[in-house]
Amino acid sequence: MLQQKSVPRYGFARSWLVVIINSTESASEELKDNTWNQTVPQRNTKLHHSLALPAQLPSGADLPSCTECTDGESQFRIINLPRNPSRPIDFWSPCSCGYQSLQSCGSTVLADGRLADLIRRVAIFGMALMKLDVRQESGRHTETLDAVTSYLDLGVYSEWDEEKKLDFLTKELKGKRPLIPPNIEVAADVKEVLDTFKVAAELGSDSLGAYVISMASNASDVLAVELLQKDARLTVSGDLGRPCPGGTLRVVPLFETVKDLQEAGSAIRKLLSIDWYRDHIIKNHNGHQEVMVGYSDSGKDAGRFTAAWELYKAQEDVVAACNEFGIKVTLFHGRGGSIGRGGGPTYLAIQSQPPGSVTGTLRSTEQGEMVQAKFGLPQTAVRQLEIYTTAVLLATLRPPHPPRDPNWRHLMEDISRVSCAHYRRTVYEDPEFITYFQEATPQAELGFLNIGSRPAKRKPSGGISSLRAIPWVFAWTQTRLVLPAWLGVGAGLQSAMDAGHGEELRAMYDEWPFFQSTVDLIEMVTAKADAPTAARYEEMLVAAPGRRRAVGGELRRELARTVRCVLAVSGHSKLTAHNRSLRRLIQSRLAYLNPMNMLQVEVLRRLRQDDDNRKLRDVLLITINGIAAGMRNTG
């Protein structure tokens, strides 16, 4: 995914560079396999005609023509000439003719070998190695439309209410003229957004997949992108009747915060109730709407348990909204590598989705370190493909059970409310917590590492609310307290058991896949946690004794309570008792993790007294990578 503005130096030009490399690599791979016709003794008239070859050329001349087609694709991406690149059909058609030619002259071994593989690859992947998504925050689009409406003396777009925004956007989308003047003078940030849309219009859907709107909250966020896309199409093609090469990108709203998740269904209903948008989806995207849900920010906002429940309900509501309008939906899961950011076993995660939310299609992100772990070797990559395919097929043909008893949903609401209140009271309302977090974890030192696609903070200043989810989770993982994955869970479950719902919780665990998956993931992550190691970080790094160190003691007691409650609900005698292989795996890593943690905490202590020491920095980075590998995730 191309995260716009993640590295300010690069901006929209980075999109060009990535796609250039992507298409060149794809063309190179196709050229490697394009050797099937060099030794064929017979000619095929249809093949020569399709390639516009002179009649006197031998059959071996078919190869250069295909090579020119592939090379032309690379040339287009590199120097932007010509503007009509080779389409997949332009490459696929002569290959198909060649396949038939080989079959007709008895060369079935050549036809069914690398040529057949090449035809399949072009048919599936097109002329790009893979399609890349573009992602941008909704606020940047609002800022851009602010600049445009102010320039045109139409008012300030961001100050309008939702209905006025929708009326304006819909009217402009129905029109046949561009909204944005070609000579408009705007700030650098706004120009970057406009240039990004122009680049996307040039590249089209042959190279780019979706335009993801992060921090989406309203229907107007989607229509704003559609309008900016329309204007870019007009700029590139010069005529509304002549679409840009490859077509337009599908627009995918990403609902991330708890508040936005709660309103996701309403936003999609409002969007699909607009005739223009519904017709656009049916005509240009085969009646298919994609919606992304984010696991990271919701977990940081309200804790893992509340985030899981709100995500479950949001998916139910989005699916229901699309069904009301007869629109197919694909849910795109923005998961991280850790439990605190929605990570976990793939099969278990898919099988615990709401009934009807997986209907033959599903998208999910895989974070950098998990890509290497899951797809780094051909054997593991095939295994992951099998897991995804099996889970999606089963969830489609045999959907998971909904909660058997309607009271279970009410109980989940009660647990979620208590869990969220406890989490927010600890993280956001305790004045000592932020300082404790900064001192007891390597949060500040993570800036030495080149991790993540975005800056550590959304804003240069601010507390936990401005911190991005990756460093938030990563810092706690390093100390092995892994707090974001379990904080609040113990309080919520304890309140339910104190109210006499113990047996009901055990029934929910046995009969409701979603609840069982949630509890099992929390059990797994608490098995990885190590309170004594976390206490060592506090002892060595937290300056003030008093109240600040008391925060650490409260957190470790809360971890112990969470373990007790999880075991009471699952009925297990000890953590991961039902999964011996996982328990052995965790135990086997302790011999390596414990020394690295002891080394890291000492290096942190010294580095905070001598922050320019390059040797200490190098050692710290080694321990950070080692602990992340041992814990099997970063953020």
Give the span between the Cα atoms of 494 and 308, in whole angstroms: 18
Q: What are the extents of the domains in the chain?
A: 2-125, 132-397, 406-631
Q: pLDDT of 142-151, one tens digit each?
A: 999 999 999 9
Of 236-245, 488-497, 498-507, the poorest mean pLDDT is in: 236-245
Taking alpha carbons only, the member of 459, 443, 460 closest to residue 451 is: 443
Q: pLDDT of 197-238, one tens digit each?
A: 998 888 888 788 899 999 999 999 999 999 999 999 888 776
Q: Environment class of residue 51 by beta-carbon count within 10 Å: exposed (0-12), middle (13-18) or buried (19+)?
A: buried
416 neighbors 305 (Cβ within 8 angstroms): yes
Mean pLDDT to the nearest integer, 143-166: 96
Give the residue, 534 or 87, on which the prediction is more confident.
534
Mean pLDDT to the nearest integer, 373-391: 89
Task: Mark residue 622 as left, alpha or beta (left: phi above 0; alpha: psi -120 to 50; beta: remaining).
Answer: alpha
Q: pLDDT of 521-577, one tens digit each?
A: 999 999 999 999 999 999 999 987 777 778 999 999 999 999 999 999 999 999 988
The predicted structure's pLDDT at residue 192: 93
Q: Is the pLDDT of residue 296 over 60?
A: yes
Q: Is the pLDDT of residue 516 over 90?
A: yes
Mean pLDDT to the nearest integer, 348-363: 87
33 neighbors 118 (Cβ within 8 angstroms): yes
| Helix ranges (DSSP H) in 447-579 | 469-478, 489-498, 502-511, 513-528, 531-541, 546-570
Mean pLDDT across the chain: 82
Task: Categorize the per-residue pLDDT at 100 as very low, low, confident or very high, splitting at 50, 70 and 90.
Answer: confident
Give the span between the Cα atoms of 380 and 491, in whole angstroms: 38
Mean pLDDT to the nearest integer, 423-441: 93
pTM: 0.82
Torsion over CA: 610, 460, 448, 542 (sign): positive
The predicted structure's pLDDT at residue 566: 97
Task: Categorize the per-residue pLDDT at 73 as very low, low, confident or very high, splitting at 50, 70 and 90.
Answer: very low
Which tokens sit at 632? Answer: 């099997």
DSSP annotation of 60 reads G
The predicted structure's pLDDT at residue 458: 52
Give the span between the Cα atoms of 365 and 82, in whole angstroms: 34
Dihedral, 303, 304, 310, 312 alpha carbons, nearest 10: 180
Q: Which of 300, 313, 374, 528 is catalytic?
A: 300
The predicted structure's pLDDT at residue 63: 41
538 neighbors 552 (Cβ within 8 angstroms): yes
Q: Which H helix or E strand runs over 332?
A: strand 328-334
Mean pLDDT to the nearest integer, 620-633: 87
The predicted structure's pLDDT at residue 494: 98
**Is 574 annotated in the active site?**
no
Q: Is the pLDDT of residue 421 over 60?
A: yes
Mean pLDDT to the nearest integer, 291-298: 88
- Name the range with the highest mean pLDDT among 66-75, 341-350, 621-630: 621-630
Q: How far is CA 97 from CA 66, 73, 93, 274, in A?
A: 12, 20, 6, 45
Q: Which CATH code fits 132-397?
A: 3.20.20
134 neighbors 212 (Cβ within 8 angstroms): yes
Q: Is the pLDDT of residue 282 over 50?
A: yes
Give the span between the Cα atoms of 2 and 19, in whole angstroms: 10
486 neighbors 559 (Cβ within 8 angstroms): yes
Q: What percent of the chain has pLDDT over 90?
A: 52
Q: pLDDT of 481-492, one tens digit each?
A: 999 999 999 999
Q: Is the pLDDT of residue 424 over 90?
A: yes
Task: Categorize the per-residue pLDDT at 64 as very low, low, confident or very high, splitting at 50, 70 and 90.
Answer: very low
